[in-house]
Amino acid sequence: MDQIQSQEQWVLHRLEKFYAVTENLQKVQNVLSGQSVLSLRLIDWFVTNYAKMHNVSFVHQGKYQTVYLSYKSHLKAYSKKMFDPFCRCRRIKFAGMDTTVGQLNFFQWIISDGILDHMYAHREEIHRDMEARIHASKQTNKRHEISQCASDKLSTHSVQVKVSFN
């Protein structure tokens, strides 16, 4: 294995603390080993296409999550090399897994923001959408964007707001 560079070292140090929690590590190991009903392909589809098209948002631990916008901001902050669901770039051994810092960083995001749990709850719906749109895109040979961004359109969300004047 090559020597890890400084940004990778910083991110890896932060990730070691996160994955010291056995439950977090187990969730990643289940997906990467194929024991989970979620595949890497489905996870990638969800954050890059499904969440974009359907403007997926939910409340997790009192915090409002808009999946696609969160994904784009994380991608901008870390770059594809440091935030990638697939095992591309330089591999490392981590807790017995052959993975990358980018993959561990991506999974830290989907676990801590409740996105992985949301995907488990809506797996069938996400899978049907993926299959239908891949089949539909095979019928049109022209290169085009698969998913229209729902956040470019007007959408409303009911959110409780507490205003206090001190």
Task: Provide the pLDDT for residue 81.
Answer: 87
Task: Provide the pLDDT for residue 2.
Answer: 53
Q: How far apart are CA 72 and CA 79, in angstroms?
A: 10
Task: Provide the pLDDT for residue 90.
Answer: 84
pTM: 0.80
Burial class for 43, CB neighbours closer than 10 Å (0-12, 13-18, 19+) = buried
Task: Provide the pLDDT for residue 3.
Answer: 54
**Low-confidence residues in the chain, pLDDT < 50:** none
Task: Provide the pLDDT for residue 136.
Answer: 80
For 131-140, write each residue's pLDDT tens digit. Answer: 998 888 776 6
Q: Are 50 and 41 in contact (CB under 8 A)?
A: no
Instruction: Return the domain boundaries, the chain.
Output: 6-140
According to DSSP, residue 96 is labeled T
86-121 in b/e form (b: 16+ CB < 10 A) is eeeeeebebeebebbbbbbbbbbbbbebbbbebbee
Identify residue 128 by its one-letter amino acid code. Answer: R
Task: Provide the pLDDT for residue 146.
Answer: 64
Residue showing tokens 């010291």 = 20
Task: Provide the pLDDT for residue 153.
Answer: 64
